[in-house]
Amino acid sequence: IRRKLAETNPEAYLPAVANTLNNLAVLYGSTGRTDTARTYSTEATEILEPLWQANPELHGNQFARNLLTSALVSKTAGRSADESLPFAYRALDAAYDLALRQSIEELIEELHPGSQS
């Protein structure tokens, strides 16, 4: 439904599509279906990145949550920290919310102990 709405009004509905995709990534990641989770997370990133670049303050936290999901999916899939860390660092750069930033910093510390965020 949101995809269809986004066809007629992308500015209003593309963030909702990306949010749904991110939620699906979280769901699939938590059930061990990391390939499917990565697919949804990647699509959400492709939707959100141009929105974030156009208006970082409006879309920064959503973009950061999506990137955090990508980092967590990589971690859950048993990928190396080298694959997860770039997502986490990009999330930290995009995030405005202090609690979100703290969660990202904790993940970075877990992936790379002793690192400076």
pLDDT at 77: 87
Take residue 117 and report the two structure tokens written for it. Answer: 């965020």
pLDDT at 116: 58
Mean pLDDT, residues 33-47 taken together:
97
Taking residue 57's Cβ as centre, other Cβ atoms within 10 Å add up to 8
At 61-86, the pLDDT tens digits run 999 999 999 999 999 988 788 999 99
At 2-30, the pLDDT tens digits run 899 899 998 899 999 999 999 999 999 99
User: In this model, does residue 32 exceed pLDDT 80?
Assistant: yes
Residue 88 C-beta-side C-alpha neighbours within 13 Å: 25
Q: Position 70: which residue type?
A: S
Q: Position 60: which residue type?
A: G
Mean pLDDT of the chain: 94
